Amino acid sequence: MLIRITRGWEIPDRLATPEALVFGRRAVLGGTALGLATGIAGPARAAEPLSLPPAMRNTRYAPGRAVTPEREVTSYNNFYEFGSHKGIARAAQRLPQRPWTVKVDGLVDHPREFGIEDLLREMPLEERVYRLRCVEAWSMVVPWTGFPLSALLDRVAPQSGAKYVRFETAAIPGVMPGLRQSWYPWPYIEGCTIEEAAHELSFLVVGAYGKPLPPQNGGPIRIHQPWKYGFKAGKSLVRVSLVAERPKSFWETVQPSEYGFWANVNPAVPHPRWSQATERVLGTGELVPTQLFNGYGEFVAGLYAGLENERLWA
Ligand code: MTE
């Protein structure tokens, strides 16, 4: 007899959106201008009817909670380039989404600049419903469309000296008022080890809710590693570099005692300003216990064997 053990983070079938609905909705929304779809009008967006190729949902990474309403996810954001508050969605509509290129360089045999349209065409797109746990103790569950970071790295052939991946995000002074806060170390940088980057869960996100990723969520392309705190998820990426030394991230530069390199979710290790024991679920406001590695320990715990002396958690 086949006994299927439900994992801690899995969602009961009755809560999952039927596939027909997912794909039906996508067919309707596929060509919709983003400004209309989100209900946020912006001069730069109106002229750009972006679309996202259809992508099958990968059910291997069921999130264990109901999907957060789209309007919450697209209107409660951290994107300091547009301001240090949650209401940056309207301002972020000024970030042009096309043309957009991502330079992949550093210790690789085949450095290349990828146009976003090339990535949408060439990469193995799929939908994954991932959780995102912010270090500020709120969380959300989002159907992201994207592709494994490893698929991108395979294209450029990393060299053996590449030990880390550095993510650099857009910094466009005319468009991003937050850059005037000159005490911040722009551009927003993040990073991970090459082993973390190669892990199947490391995902480059180009869409959400079956539509192109809105600028306020990091459109047209961001990184998401769901077992880490959300600040690791650099938005609106312009450059991915393979490097020998550990990159110093934006928040680590701002406040090293509060934000480290690894930043894996751990309910037992409080941040100086936020207990990490529970999290507030966006949309319902419910307080739920936080899980080690944000519930993805079964997949990722092995990455940290032998690294117990590192500051893995904050
Ligand atoms: N990326 C950039 N470029 N700038 C930022 O300020 N904020 C981070 C991360 N990526 C941030 C960023 C933080 S703190 C979080 S919690 C997530 O984005 C929030 O993603 P969301 O707005 O899609 O929920």
Ligand 1 atom with the smallest distance to the CA of 218 is 23
Q: Is the CB of 79 under 6 A from ligand 1?
A: yes
- Alpha-carbon distance of 153 to 240, in angstroms, equals 9
pLDDT in tens, 70-104: 999 999 999 999 999 999 999 999 999 999 999 99
DSSP code at position 120:
H
The count of other CB atoms within 10 Å of the CB of residue 43 is 9
Position 47 scores a pLDDT of 58
Protein residue whose Cα sits closest to atom 9 of ligand 1 = 231
Confidence of residue 43 (pLDDT cuts 50, 70, 90): low
The count of other CB atoms within 10 Å of the CB of residue 168 is 19
Rounded to the nearest whole angstrom, what is the distance from the C-alpha of residue 285 to the centroid of ligand 1? Answer: 20
Q: Is 124 exposed, middle or buried (0-12, 13-18, 19+ CB in 10 A)?
A: exposed
Q: Give the pTM.
A: 0.87
Q: Is the CB of 238 under 6 A from ligand 1?
A: no
User: Of 16-20, 24-28, 164-168, where does mean pLDDT reach its minimum?
Assistant: 24-28
| pLDDT (average), residues 285-303 | 98
| pLDDT (average), residues 234-259 | 97
Position 314 scores a pLDDT of 79
Query: Rounded to whole angstroms, what are the CA distances from 119 to 100, 103, 134?
Result: 11, 12, 27
Q: Which residue has the higher pLDDT, 157 or 23?
A: 157
Helix (H) or strand (E) holding 102: strand 101-106
Q: Is the CB of 134 under 6 A from ligand 1?
A: yes
Protein residue whose Cα sits closest to atom 5 of ligand 1 = 79
Give the domain ranges of the chain. 57-130+143-255
Q: Which amino acid is at 168?
A: E
Position 49 scores a pLDDT of 78
% of the chain residues with pLDDT over 70: 85
Does pLDDT of 64 surpass 50?
Answer: yes
Q: How many helices (H) and strands (E) does the chain have?
A: 10, 12
Residue 144: CA count within 13 A, CB half-sphere: 31
Protein residue whose Cα sits closest to atom 6 of ligand 1 = 79
The count of other CB atoms within 10 Å of the CB of residue 152 is 22
Which CATH code fits 57-130+143-255?
3.90.420.10
Q: Is the CB of 266 under 6 A from ligand 1?
A: no
Q: Are 235 and 188 in contact (CB under 8 A)?
A: yes
Q: Is the CB of 224 under 6 A from ligand 1?
A: no
Rounded to the nearest whole angstrom, what is the distance from the C-alpha of residue 47 to the centroid of ligand 1? Answer: 26
Q: Is the CB of 230 under 6 A from ligand 1?
A: yes
Q: Is the CB of 263 under 6 A from ligand 1?
A: no
